[in-house]
Each structure stands twice: as C-alpha cells, then as structure tokens.
Amino acid sequence: MVRTEISLFLVNAPGELGKLTTLLSEAGINIDALTIQDASEYVQELFRARGKSLKRVAPAASYGSMKKDSADYALIRLLVDNTDQAIDRLSHQGYVFDIMPVIALEIENKPGTLAGMAQKFGEEGININYVYGSALPNGKKSLFVFCPEDIELAADIFKD
C-alpha cells in the first residue's frame, strides 16, 4: 500500500524526540513506523554517492562543512495514521520536513518472507533506496516500509 512518509531533521539532543512524539500524541496521531539515524551518516552517504557519479551539487569543502554540521541533527522518517494532521502540527511548530510516497507492507513474520519481497523488487528491476521495519518476537505480522526508485511499479506489484 502506498503511504506518505514524513522525513525531518531533528536536533540531536536529549528530549527532542520526546517533544516531537508528544506533539503528535497530543493531537491523537499514532506513529505506525519510525526510523532514526544520525544525519551525518546521511550526508556521508550523499557524499559517497556523488563522488561515485562525479556529479557534485556542491564542492567537497561544502560537504565537509555539511558533515560537521549534520552531527548535530538526526534524520527521522515516520509513517503516521493521519498524515495531513501531522503535517499541519509540524508546520505550526516550525519543523522543517519533506514528504514522499513509500510502500508500507504488512507481511508474515516468518523466515523468508522479507527475502521473497526483496527478490520480487529485484526481479522487476526496482532498486530499493532504503527499507525499515519491525515485528514483535513471536508476532504473526511485521510492518516494513520500502522506498523504491519506481513507486508506481512497486505499488502495482504489491497491490494485493
């Protein structure tokens, strides 16, 4: 199922995640999925990717400065049950964020299920930019969020 993911940079300091999640919970917004990474990893990966393609959008010195500055932030990606309301709340509180379509799939929590899905993406020639997910131990279902390069084709493949 195609869902809208919210990505934002959050100050990498104690209490900031609590402020964000409280803002959402006070509005009755449930978080269905969330991943957090140190933003410096994101910038480092961007630098490596640009270096491989030799298509830089900024000089190397700028990437060094971005890397240093980005250690102060975390990159958060989340799915919520009311995206429009979440966007409204985030906007009013001054958060800087982006939205993008992703594929969120509830799958069986057993060995090989994720492997089969990943293979299906590959067979269809769809690159996965990133994925995150989780399940409770001994739970019957897992939720995995995929960010494929071709969202429309991926949505077609997994519409059932």
Here the CATH number for the domain that contains residue 23 is 3.30.2130.10
Please report, for residues 30, 60, 149, the alpha-carbon distance to residue 122 in angstroms, rounded to integers and kept in the order given: 32, 33, 12
Render 82-143 in DSSP notation, one character per residue.
-HHHHHHHHHHTT--EEEEEEEEEEEE-STTHHHHHHHHHHHTTPPEEEEEEE--TT-SEEE
| pLDDT value, residue 47 | 57
Cα separation, 33 vs 82, in Å, equals: 13
Note the pLDDT tens digit of each residue in 84-101: 999 999 999 998 889 999
Dihedral sign (CA 37, 42, 44, 49)? positive
Low-confidence stretches of the chain (pLDDT < 70) are 40-71, 160
Cα separation, 40 vs 26, in Å, equals: 30
How big is the CA angle at 86 (ends 151 and 117), to the nearest 5 degrees? 30
Tokens 């519409």 sit at which residue? 159
Tokens 């800087």 sit at which residue? 96
The count of structural domains within the chain is: 1
| pLDDT value, residue 159 | 80
| pLDDT value, residue 68 | 54
Instruction: Indicate yes or no: pTM above 0.85.
Output: no
CB 119: neighbour CB atoms within 10 A? Answer: 11
| pLDDT value, residue 56 | 46
Domain residue limits at 78: 2-157
